[in-house]
Amino acid sequence: MKDVSFGQYYNTTSFVHKMDARVKILLSIAYIVAVFLVKEFHFYGFLAAFLFIVLTTIFSKVPFFSVLRSVKGILFFVIFSAVLQIFFNTAGEVVFSWKFITITDKGLLKAGFIVCRIMMIVMGTALLTLTTTPVELADGIESLLSPLKLIKFPVHEFALIMSIALRFIPTLMEETDRIIKAQKARGADFESGNLIKRAKAMIPILIPLLVSSFRRADELADAMDARCYSGSKGRTKYKKQRITYRDIIGFLVLAGLIVGIVFLNGV
């Protein structure tokens, strides 16, 4: 579980790391929209989206395996979605049939299409968290949502909650891995038995994890209170966010990706 890269920050100095957090958040949203713009069975659009990920990974100096590893956390969902399309999509020509199982060519293509779409979205989102610190993400979210302050929406508190949640994802994963190893050392078995037995075996993991999470939350609250944290009222920022040439280049490259996908859809 600790090998899951989502929520982790890769500390280095690169072109992407120096981009404005607000711009990276908007580019991530635009990238997700671009992936959804790819029409069914138009895999050249996914190829363009994948090349964009590769190019961004090169300029971010993040190991490509770390980006690809982000899919590991949702691997079950990816496989489950593909299996549903393969065995329950009956459109197209039959390529395999046995008793009640029927696999068609369009079912296989649809499964590949869904897998590609999910992987592209997850990898694009993982690049955001790998190249942006939780503090920068919180500041970026707060700045983008600042118009909601007019309707008394607690923008600062919401951004703080998001940044703390992202910050503690790797910590909780490491804690879960540590608890599993401790329970296995005591003779616990998490791999054998039916589904109900496996679910019951998870109770010795969930209870210590919840206790640990509440303890960490209490310690964090005490630390914030000791530093006189009182919310957004009267707070200033040490680092000011500014749009630079890197952000403009990022917008232009992603705009080119969207135009390219629309063009490929037309072709």
pLDDT tens-digit series, residues 119-176: 888 888 888 888 988 888 888 888 888 888 888 888 888 888 887 887 787 788 888 8
Cβ pair 67, 131 in contact under 8 A: no
Cα distance between residue 19 and residue 24, in whole Å: 7
Tokens encoding 155: 């923008």
Tell whether the model's pLDDT for residue 2 goes beyond 60: no
Tokens encoding 188: 């616990």
Q: How buried is residue 240: exposed, middle or buried, by Cβ count under 10 Å (0-12/13-18/19+)?
A: exposed
Tokens encoding 67: 């980006």
Tokens encoding 105: 């060519």
pLDDT digits (tens, 9 = 90+) for 178-237: 888 888 888 777 777 777 777 777 888 888 888 888 998 899 889 988 988 877 676 777
pLDDT at position 145, please?
86
Higher pLDDT, 95 or 104: 104
pLDDT at position 12, please?
87
Tell whether the model's pLDDT for residue 52 goes beyond 50: yes
Cα distance between residue 121 and residue 52, in whole Å: 12
pLDDT at position 7, please?
61
pLDDT at position 31, please?
92
Between CA 213 and CA 165, with CA 28 as vertex, the angle to 5 degrees is 10
pLDDT digits (tens, 9 = 90+) for 54-97: 999 999 998 888 888 877 777 888 888 888 877 777 777 777 77
**Around 119, how many Cα atoms within 13 Å sit in the side-chain half-sphere?**
19
When pLDDT is averaged across residues 247-253 and rounded to a whole number, the result is 90
The pLDDT mean for the chain works out to: 83
Cβ pair 10, 131 in contact under 8 A: yes
pLDDT at position 30, please?
92
